[in-house]
Amino acid sequence: MKSECTSNLAFIINVLYNHQVIAYPTEAVFGLGCDPDSSQAVNRLLQLKQRSWKKGLILIASDYQQLIRYVDDSVLSKQQRDIILKSWPNPVTWVIPARPETPRFLTGLFNSLAVRVSAHLPIQNLCRQYGKPLVSTSANFSQREPCRNLDEVKQQFGATFPVLCGSVGSCLHPSEIRDALSGKQLRQS
């Protein structure tokens, strides 16, 4: 039986509102995502990934405004902010100091949060329609390769797992990660 996905954005958004985890195409691989304000959803995602909350997570958004309630923009200089904004929308993730009220289930053991504004159309549409960013991590179990197509998602997560239709982008590697305050590269793309 061929694996199915849904192009029905309303269905996927309803899944997110119900504290569930979805899969969706990103610039390089399929990602797992959920509502960043739902501890229940984030815990489900961490259980699926077999990942410790201590590592922290990435938020992915359609624009910087969606990220402002999670990161402390006031600590950035104009130059730092300009560098970040000029790098987006692209597969560049920035680690920015988190607002004090940002939940620990997002930041892990850190006082910062990794964030990205994506140019990938499925992500842009999803975050715009949902009205906020998503937690984003690669769709794979620990110690397994990230899923690059729908069939791989279904093999790892099951035939009924909610998946947004679309193709992954042309990037061959995960996003580059940079520290917003120092500009230091933390992970190459």
**The pTM of the whole model exceeds 0.75:** yes
Beta-strand relationship, 185-187 and 176-179: antiparallel
pLDDT at position 144: 85
pLDDT at position 174: 66
pLDDT at position 110: 96
Within 13 A of 100's CA, how many CA atoms are on the CB side? 1
Token code pair at residue 181: 């305050």
Amino acid at 22: I
- In the chain, the domains with their CATH numbers are 9-187 (3.90.870.10)
Q: How does pLDDT run across 1-53, given as a tens digit for each residue?
A: 344 666 688 999 999 999 999 999 998 899 999 999 999 999 999 999 989 99
pLDDT at position 68: 97
In degrees rounded to 5, what are phi and psi of residue 135? -65, 140
Task: Give the mean pLDDT of 68-90.
Answer: 95
Q: How does pLDDT run across 124-169, given as a tens digit for each residue?
A: 999 999 999 999 999 998 788 888 998 999 999 998 999 998 888 7
